[in-house]
Chain A
């Protein structure tokens, strides 16, 4: 039966894009959760929503041209761990998040040429079924970006670990911690823009945090957690997309529910193993 579904190109595209996006988010998720930045997915996707509204109002054809730079810029601003920043961590995130959300919605309402504004907004927020209407170009963009993100992550794995575990120590020994923080910020933004297509602005956080949190219930070393989190992401996103096609349920929400169930399973397993 799966083979039958996979004979449709749009299903294949959805699987490729969905699984790759989930994989990338889960890799970065481990670092972000440990750095206490779980909410960055939420905040940045709201920023991306705002940017998307600007792109829509300006009728830019490829939204990515506007959305990606704006999101990357905000990610750098947020993750640049500046001890002297006037507005710190969570407050800055909350401010940016609601600010760009309000700005985006306002823009869409006032200037949008589309007849169905609330429908547009809803699909941007919840991802709708756009994953099933991906074109070949969309899939290629997604594949290239994902491969790039995975390569960067693998090459800088040890540095990312060191900067996440103890930034001050890394800096003291002459590691360029700010450069690696910058890399983390940029790939976080790229992933979030990718993930928005899949699950929409509101659920992007789920793809980032759930696999990492599940893996941390059971495993105790950084490498195990990263590998397990990647595996969880691949399996639950594939399962989620498949179920949503079968039940014709919304893709994003279905993946998140599967993630949630997996997290529950891992929590129970973790508790059982530790006793």
Chain B
């Protein structure tokens, strides 16, 4: 158990941008929502998953809709109370704690705001260990968990909770409600008991995010090694490539942002070329025709000087980036995990081989 205040939020937000693996939305506005809640209601208590009783009700919090709309309407503040009432009434028991469903991007921040405003603890755990674009892409799906009963509320006070027959229906209904409510809503989904969370959740991910954020912030203070060495050491990252962006191809279909960024090698990689393909998040990293990493391992682009993460919507010609790979949560590497988020699900025709094996013998 420990307290999360404003300095921790700053680091978690920066780490969340890295864990977004190119997507997940800019955590900036989420960070302000979390800071606003903590300024008003005080710091948040964060629990280790083992501190949560097996039968306690744990509820992940997220936003659904367009980050552009969130940047304009933000959060009203009362949504989390409405979510609390809706969900606890439905289950007939109080919510014990909140948690993030995804640790990458803007959704990393909102559960902190919810916990602060309700005076409830936050659990150091999520269902992805990164960001993914679709509703069912959580470790809890592997354990047989369901997104529904899913509660949705808007800032005006409208709320609903629905049970659906398939994930496809959940997406369909959730999108309609989101649009009708003005393009951005707060949701709770995959409500679960403590025991289930401990079994399938990605433990310690909020702390990991904070460590990553603080590593990026302090990288220039390192004296005994180069900033790059320090960065790779703390993140446990595999350096896949370093290059200059020489082309960005984009295509927006069905609300998803598809594309490919092409890099010309610089420094030790001069003369080599690489590309990274993405669908909101980065999917594959290919150097000189050889695949070095694929989803569900994290592929992150960072600025070569500041090591700040570069999301897919900020890719532009001429920018110098380092491509790094981070190992995904082990459960994603099982058959069930790969069926959900493996390369073939995203239309990439290759078997999943763990990052550390692909990179054996140096990248």
Is this pair of chains taken from one and the same complex?
Answer: no
